[in-house]
């Protein structure tokens, strides 16, 4: 018995409702269809189909087996499709959703190089700090920064972990003093990025103890770029990914505080619907993102360069 042929024959006989229809679809004789299914039943030691001259139906065992057979055969087809897509040149439109600050800071400047490398690919980049529904909104890839990745049917590829720094403008600290412990922040003007996973509470740890600071802010904003503007203007203090403010810290327009305390971190992931449909345009862009973020992950910060 050719097991794959027998399984395929069984599936099509059930899908199409008769041996004769399966035979026509597969280019076999009705006798060959009957032989394949009979050998499959003999191999399994159980009847899969109840059949008369007029009607065919699945047995209870057959129904259970059929569901598994369909899943296995679909997986085999997907494996063939993935291999074929890897061998074909990437093409088509990629719809990508990403937080604006992440894109502008980390990878958007490199996208023209990606498009030069893959001339048959087009990119539709949607920049929004709010979370999109990748399936309902029709995106191929979404980049998300999360403190904890929730359970999901989506696939996640880790890009980098963003360390945070508490900072403000020197003019702000000249006027308001420098906090020496996390608890001192209750006396300071805080700027809150409202879409952060830790927007309501900032957590600090110095290796000896953990301190959690409730965030009560007069200025709440859903854009990290706006947070950065407020910091530069000397309005207050904020906890922000270090990669966003590294240049400001390097030239002294912003000043880090509580440097001996480790703060919250955010992990960036590339999210996509399923490995089953990972066509070549998605695969190569995921590799491109991984390369770009790897460069950033290995880049020394302003403090490390000094």
Phi, psi (degrees; rounded to nearest 5) at 233: -80, -5
From CA 239, how far away is CA 65, in angstroms rounded? 55
Tens of pLDDT along the chain (306 residues) come to 899 999 999 999 898 888 888 899 899 998 999 999 999 999 999 999 988 767 888 999 989 999 999 999 888 887 777 666 655 678 888 999 998 888 898 889 999 999 999 998 999 999 987 777 887 788 889 998 876 556 566 788 889 888 999 999 999 999 999 999 999 999 999 999 988 878 889 999 998 899 998 988 999 999 899 999 999 999 999 999 999 999 999 999 999 999 999 988 888 899 888 655 567 888 899 999 998 888 886 554 444 444
pLDDT score at 112:
94
Contacts of residue 17, Cβ cutoff 8 Å, sequence gap at least 6: 56
Which domains, from first to last, does the chain contain?
A: 3-87 (1.10.10.10), 92-159+268-305 (3.40.190.10), 162-266 (3.40.190.290)
From CA 255, how far away is CA 153, in angstroms rounded? 42
pTM: 0.63
Provide the token pair at 8.
Answer: 């395929």
């Amino acid at each position: 018995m050719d097991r794959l042929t027998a399984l395929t024959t069984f599936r099509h006989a059930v899908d199409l409702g008769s041996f004769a229809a399966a035979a026509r679809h597969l280019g076999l004789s009705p006798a060959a269809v009957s032989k394949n299914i009979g050998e499959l039943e003999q191999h399994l030691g159980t009847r899969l189909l109840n059949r008369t001259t007029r009607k065919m139906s699945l047995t209870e065992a057959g129904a259970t087996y059929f569901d598994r057979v369909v899943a296995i055969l679909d997986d085999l087809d997907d494996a063939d499709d993935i291999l074929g897509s890897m061998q074909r040149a990437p093409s088509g439109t990629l719809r990508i959703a990403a937080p604006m600050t992440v894109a502008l800071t980390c990878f958007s400047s490199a996208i023209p190089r990606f498009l030069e490398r893959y001339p048959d690919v087009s990119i539709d980049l949607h920049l929004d700090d709010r979370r999109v529904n990748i399936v309902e909104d029709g995106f191929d890839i979404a980049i998300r920064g999360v403190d904890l990745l929730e359970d999901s049917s989506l696939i996640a590829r880790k890009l980098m972990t963003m360390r945070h720094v508490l900072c403000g403008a020197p003019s702000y600290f000249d006027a308001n003093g420098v906090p020496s412990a996390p608890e001192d922040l209750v006396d300071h003007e805080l700027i809150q990025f409202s879409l952060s996973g830790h927007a309501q509470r900032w957590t600090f740890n110095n290796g000896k103890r953990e301190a959690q600071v409730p965030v009560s802010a007069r200025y709440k904003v859903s854009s990290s770029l706006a947070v950065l503007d407020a910091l530069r203007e000397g309005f207050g203090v904020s906890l922000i990914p270090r990669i966003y403010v590294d240049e400001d810290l390097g030239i002294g327009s912003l000043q880090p505080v509580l440097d001996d305390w480790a703060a919250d971190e955010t992990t960036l992931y590339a999210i996509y619907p399923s490995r089953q449909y990972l066509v070549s345009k998605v695969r190569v862009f995921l590799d491109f993102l991984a390369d770009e973020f790897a460069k950033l992950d290995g880049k020394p910060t302003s403090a490390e360069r000094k």
